[in-house]
Amino acid sequence: MLNRSEAPHIKDAVEYKIGLKKPDQFKLDNGVEVYNVQAGTEEVVQIEWVFKAGNWFEEKKLIASAANFLIKNGTSNKSAFEINEFVDFYGAYLNRSCYNETAVVSLHCLTKQLEHILPLVQEIFLDATMPEDELLIYKQNMKQRLAVNLKKCDFIAGRKIDALLFGEKHPYGVYSEMDDYDAIQQDELIRYYQSYYKNGHCTIFSAGILPAKYQQLLNKYFGQLPFNKNQVTNVSHPMFPSTQKKWNILNDPDGVQGAIRIARPCPLPSDPVFPKLQVLNVLFGGFFGSRLMANIREDKGYTYGIYSYLMNHIHASAILISTEAGRDVCEATVKEVYHEMEQLRNKEVGKDELLLVKNYLIGTLLGDLDGPFHIIGRWKNLILHGMDESHFNYYVNTIKTIEAKELKNLAEKYLNPEEFYELVVV
Amino acid sequence: MVNFDRFELSNGLKVLVHQDLSTPMAVVNVLYDVGARDEVEAQTGFAHLFEHLMFGGSVNIPDYDEPLQLSGGENNAYTTNDLTNYYCQLPAENLETAFWLESDRMLSLAFSKKSLDVQRKVVCEEFKEHYINKPFGDVWHMMRDLAYKVHPYKWMTIGKELSHIENAKLEDVKNFFSKHYNPSNAILVVAGNVQTAQVQLLAEKWFGSIPSGIKYHRNILQEPAQQDARRMTVKRNVPMDAIYKTWHMASRLDQDYYTTDLLTDILGGGASSRLYQALVKEKQLFAHINCYHFGSLDRGLLTIEGQLVKGVDMKQAEDAIEEELTKAREHLIDDRELQKVKNKTESVMAFEDMSVMNRAGSLAFYELLGDGNLMNDEFQRYQQVTTSDLQRVAKEVLRESNSNTIWYMAN
């Protein structure tokens, strides 16, 4: 007779040996570094051109993100429509995203179409024109998007907490107002493009099933471009964290929920303590079985979901707790968040719960490393933070070996309510 | 080409096995043939609420998530108007844990009052977060109600109103379970680093003894063809006006479904699409505009939604949309444009199939449609679409009398 009350035997995930498959690594003629993971089951590729062109380098708000957005909206020979039509015809996806330190142009397509698309990507890096009419449409549409977002409590809370942590003048804390869009000038975008893309610093990360002669192909289209000639000047930005810790903002008098953000600074991802904090974070609020979720969603029903995160910035990091809760239970939710901090400070996590967290982390890591796009993503993160494989191995080892006592010590050091910013936006 | 083996247990549970030895993981996907369309109008949102309760402990196992996490796994689930799907991924060596958990909650839930009390609140917060506390959040409640007069697609998966969820009783939960959650109403897909023989043994061991239950036969009134255009105007606290238009389209298995899918891509699928180029870029009447549909199993809705540039007149904006639709009805779309959307589709399908989890979910979905092999014929069906098909479908679907329009105005 089958005993359904008894769990089948499991192999503890912590027993798995986990390694990060090494990428192929080579340099183009102009010195651009290429990292490539050749693997996968589908005939698809992903290539990312990562430029040191994030908002860290802009001298005026929004220039970095506008230049990034408009980079594929026209060259001397092609209109935005012609570029989009061309990319779409080959079933490719040419996207761009702007972050703090970096700005990225990414391509996803079927392997068989890659050769058709690369000349266009080259053209964009050599000859983007940032047309005035495209800029006007961009400004108008971004202002409308902002107007809609400003109605949302989670949007207001998300940008406010960054501003509290880092200061509104810091690239991590800066946010945009309507006027900032109006103030963008075409010549500023062109200058930014010239300095940070065309003559900027580029690194290439690719993965998937790459065609034969991939290296020659990349060299042909990108190895002769004027990338990486100049040293990137080190820019530093002082932080001005807010002195006021508690904030209540009423954005929508009719709002039925409040967006809660609770955050404090913490050590950088490259700091040896960071992987330990990652384990603490998972236990606290980093997965569905976390303390925060178990208490505030699964016991009290105050929210659809609550999570804590560690920010992944290069120059500064923070622990952030984030949720949307019913308006009448916001206060109770905040109280419970602090209560869970207190539990972690006062009492060592039990053996079973710690093993569960460890197994969950290793098991999901095993799943996360499945497939070439995920593997190159890990490498990109390591390399952009100036880290290497040893950091990854240290992270895996930390998960496997960290003890309850050390997690309690970390909680005592990093989970004190009085050190957190507390923000509720209705 | 996705290969799989297929067998059925004597209680009616269909099992599909898709092997991929390149991953160390296994995926277990259980699809139940029940969605919001199986609810009654006085008690909506129930299929989705029930999905939450499936994590509240089963008859022999007090907690679903904990043992799964302990075995290095993670899981999620979703409910649509058509179906409910549960999936988990875990290291392949621990595959049996997923069988143990999934079979016990198919056998019976714990039906805990505490779980119901809490999940009612959680779902109410989900309702608020997505449909009340967001600009334009209520539009699909109104649109479904406008477009459907008979078919249960007239309400959203989350439910018609908060009170339906707040009033759910434990008795309702039990009835719902016995009606829909049994082997004859489920499809199990096991994928990843697994062997068919091993899955067969595990399936027999854990699911084989679950009583088959009574097969639920769906008897849904299909929506009669719409005869006259329907329109409504609402005023809300939003920063600018938006327009939403829908038309009834072909059901999922109809060849015209594929034609319609390509047509939505031509009209509004991205940066080189017709509506975007004409109305956002050239005429600058819209800040954004999209054309899409929901992939519904019964006759669904082809949708165009756009947010107007502030100050633009609603009538002028709607006329401009109509002008593009007229072109699609009156002129043959050229071959290259058709080839473009076919190429995009081919690419999207390849990217979707990269993950074992997606492949498992798709296999379950196509098995629900009648045969997991449909997954492999899918691109062929897109390839068959011709430019004259597109024009015919544009004429049939994008008719004024088949349309539903909401003017969503800023007050």
B333 inside domain:
yes
| Cα nearest neighbour of A152 on chain B | B134
- pLDDT class for B269, splitting at 50, 70, 90? confident
Distance between CA atoms of residues B318 and B229, nearest Å? 14
- Residue A231: the pLDDT is 81
Is position B221 within any domain? no
Neighbour tally for B284: CB within 10 Å: 15
Strands B186-192 and B14-19: parallel
pLDDT at A45: 97
C-alpha span between B81 and A144 (Å, rounded): 32
Query: Is residue A239 in a domain?
Result: no
Q: Has residue B341 got a pLDDT over 90?
A: yes
In B170-238 the beta strands, taken as DSSP E runs, fall at: 186-192, 230-236
B309, pLDDT greater than 90: yes
Mean pLDDT of B124-135: 90
Taking contacts as CB-CB distances below 8 angstroms, the residues of chain A near B191 are none
pLDDT at A367 over 90: no
Q: To 5 degrees, how large is the angle CA B146–CA B152–CA B157?
A: 90
Domain termination site, one of A165, A188, A222: A222
Q: Are residues B402 and B278 in the same domain?
A: yes
User: What gap in Å lies between CA B366 and CA B364, rounded to an integer?
Assistant: 6
**What is the secondary structure of B80-149 as a DSSP string?**
-SS-EEEEEEEEGGGHHHHHHHHHHHHH-B---HHHHHHHHHHHHHHHIIIIISSTTTTHHHHHHHHH-S
pLDDT at residue A42, rounded to an integer: 87
Q: How many CB pairs under 8 A join A and B?
A: 214
In this structure, the answer to whether residues B238 and B149 fall within a common structural domain is no
A196 with A259, same domain: the answer is no
Residues 228-247 of A with CB under 8 A from B: none
Per-residue pLDDT, A213: 93
CATH of the domain at B112: 3.30.830.10
Average pLDDT value for chain B: 95
The answer to whether A81 touches B281, Cβ cutoff 8 Å, is yes
The last residue of one of the domains, among A190, A222, A254, is A222
A264 with A206, same domain: the answer is no
What's the sign of the alpha-carbon dihedral B119, B121, B123, B126? negative
Residue A296 and residue A166 in one domain: no
If asked whether residues B191 and B238 sit together in one domain, one would say no
| Closest C-alpha to A68, from A184, A220, A162, A149 | A184
pLDDT at B332 over 90: yes
pLDDT in the model for residue B214: 87
Q: Cβ of A371 and B71 within 8 Å?
A: no
A394 band by pLDDT with thresholds 50, 70 and 90 = very high
* Residue whose token pair is 């047309």: A131
**B311 in a structural domain:** yes
pLDDT digit string, tens, across residues B159-180:
999 999 999 999 988 899 999 9
Among the partner-chain residues A43, A108, A144, the one whose CB lies closest to the CB of B307 is: A144
Whether residues A185 and A217 share a domain: the answer is yes
- What Cα–Cα distance (Å) separates residue B132 from each residue in A79, B125, B128, B138, B306? 40, 10, 5, 6, 20
Give the pair of three-digit tokens for residue B192: 């990843």
Are A210 and A317 within one domain? Answer: no
Q: How many domains does chain A have?
A: 2
pLDDT (0 to 100) of residue A17: 87
Sign of CA dihedral B65, B126, B185, B258: negative
Task: Identify the burial level of A216 via C-beta atoms within 10 angstroms of its C-beta, where 0-12 means exposed, 13-18 middle and 19 or more buried.
Answer: exposed
Average pLDDT of the residues of chain A = 96
**Among A367-371, A410-414, B56-60, where is mean pLDDT lowest?**
A367-371
pLDDT at position A370, please? Answer: 81
Backbone φ, ψ for residue A356 (5° rounding) = -60, -45
> Taking Cα atoms as reference points, which of A312, A311, A296 lies closest to residue A264?
A311
Same domain for A216 and A251?
Answer: no
> What is the count of structural domains for chain B?
2
Any chain B CB within 8 A of the CB of A148? yes
pLDDT confidence of residue B20: 94
User: How far from the centroid of its chain's Cα atoms is residue B275's Cα?
Assistant: 25
Same domain, B268 and B382: yes
Residues A109 and A254 in one domain: no
Give the pLDDT band of residue A16 (cuts 50, 70, 90): confident
Q: What is the rounded distance in angstroms from the CA atom of residue B196 to the CA atom of residue B311?
A: 62
Question: Looking at B140, B175, B207, which one is the last position of a domain?
Answer: B207
Query: What is the per-residue pLDDT for B215?
Result: 85
Closest-CA residue in chain A for B55?
A298
C-alpha dihedral over B336, B338, B339, B341, to 10 degrees? 130
- Section A17-24 average pLDDT: 91
CB contact under 8 A, A42 and B284: no
Residues B288 and B367 in one domain: yes
Residues B302 and B247: beta-carbon distance below 8 Å: yes
Interval A342-371 mean pLDDT:
94
The answer to whether position B196 is within a domain reads yes
Residue in chain B nearest A110 by alpha carbon: B347
- The arithmetic mean of pLDDT across residues B7-36, rounded, is 96
Model confidence band, residue A222 (pLDDT cutoffs 50, 70, 90): very high
Residues B176 and B265 grouped into a single domain: no
Q: Kindly state the average pLDDT of the residues B378-404.
A: 97
Q: Is residue A5 part of a domain?
A: no
**Based on the domain organization, do B234 and B366 belong to the same domain?**
yes
Q: What is the pLDDT of residue B295?
A: 96
Does B257 lie in the same domain as B131?
Answer: no
pLDDT in tens, B74-110: 999 999 999 999 999 999 999 999 999 999 999 999 9
Identify the pLDDT of residue A108. Answer: 98
Look at residue A306 and tell me whether its pLDDT is greater than 90. Answer: yes
| A41 plus A94 within the same structural domain | yes
User: In terms of domains, do B194 and B293 share one?
Assistant: no
The confidence band for A377, taking pLDDT boundaries of 50, 70 and 90, is: very high
* Closest CB from A141, A252, A302 relative to B287: A141
pLDDT at A164 over 90: yes
Q: Which two tokens stand for residue A191?
A: 């200058």
Q: Are B340 and A80 within 8 A, CB to CB? A: no
Domain end marker among B149, B173, B207:
B207
Q: Identify the band that residue A57 occupies on the pLDDT scale cut at 50, 70 and 90.
A: very high
Same domain for A50 and A173, yes or no, is yes
Residue A13: what pLDDT? 84
Residue A231 included in any domain: no
User: Residue B49 burial (CB < 10 Å; 0-12/13-18/19+)?
Assistant: buried
Read off the CATH number of the domain in which A409 is found.
3.30.830.10
Whether B393 has a pLDDT exceeding 90, the answer reads yes
Q: Please measure the distance between the N-terminal and C-terminal CA atoms of chain B and give it in whole angstroms.
A: 53
- CA-based nearest residue in chain A for residue B94: A10
Range of the domain at B49: 5-207
- Residues B215, B12 contacting (CB under 8 angstroms): yes
Weakest mean pLDDT among A160-174, B95-109, B168-182, B300-314: B168-182
CA–CA distances in Å: residue B241 to residues B133, B135, B307: 18, 11, 6
Domain span holding position A405: 246-425
For residue B225, name the pLDDT band (cuts at 50, 70, 90).
very high
The per-residue pLDDT for A371 is 87
Domain for residue B223, yes or no?
no
Does residue B17 belong to any structural domain of this protein? yes
pLDDT average, residue stretch A61-66: 98
Q: B66 and A92: CB-CB below 8 Å?
A: no
Both A338 and A413 in one domain: the answer is yes
Residue B299 located in a structural domain: yes
Instruction: State yes or no: pLDDT of B133 exceeds 90.
Output: no
pLDDT category at B294 given cuts 50, 70, 90 is: very high
pLDDT score of A41 = 82
Same domain for B74 and B196: yes
- What percentage of chain B exceeds 70 in pLDDT? 100
A90 touching B, CB under 8 A?
Answer: yes
Residues B22 and B140 in one domain: yes
The vertex-A423 CA angle with A421 and A425, nearest 5°, equals 170
In tens, the pLDDT along A255-305 reads 999 999 999 999 999 999 999 999 999 999 999 999 999 999 999 999 999
Same domain, A165 and A109: yes
Q: Are A304 and A410 in the same domain?
A: yes
Average pLDDT over residues B220-226: 95
> Which residues in chain B are closer than 8 Å to A11, comparing Cβ atoms?
91, 93-94
Asked if A13 lies within 8 A of B66 by C-beta distance, the reply is no
pLDDT tens-digit map of A107-117: 999 999 999 99
Of A166, A190, A222, the one marking the end of a domain is A222
Q: Is residue B212 domain-resident? A: no
- Residues composing chain A: 426
Q: Are residues B258 and B199 in the same domain?
A: no
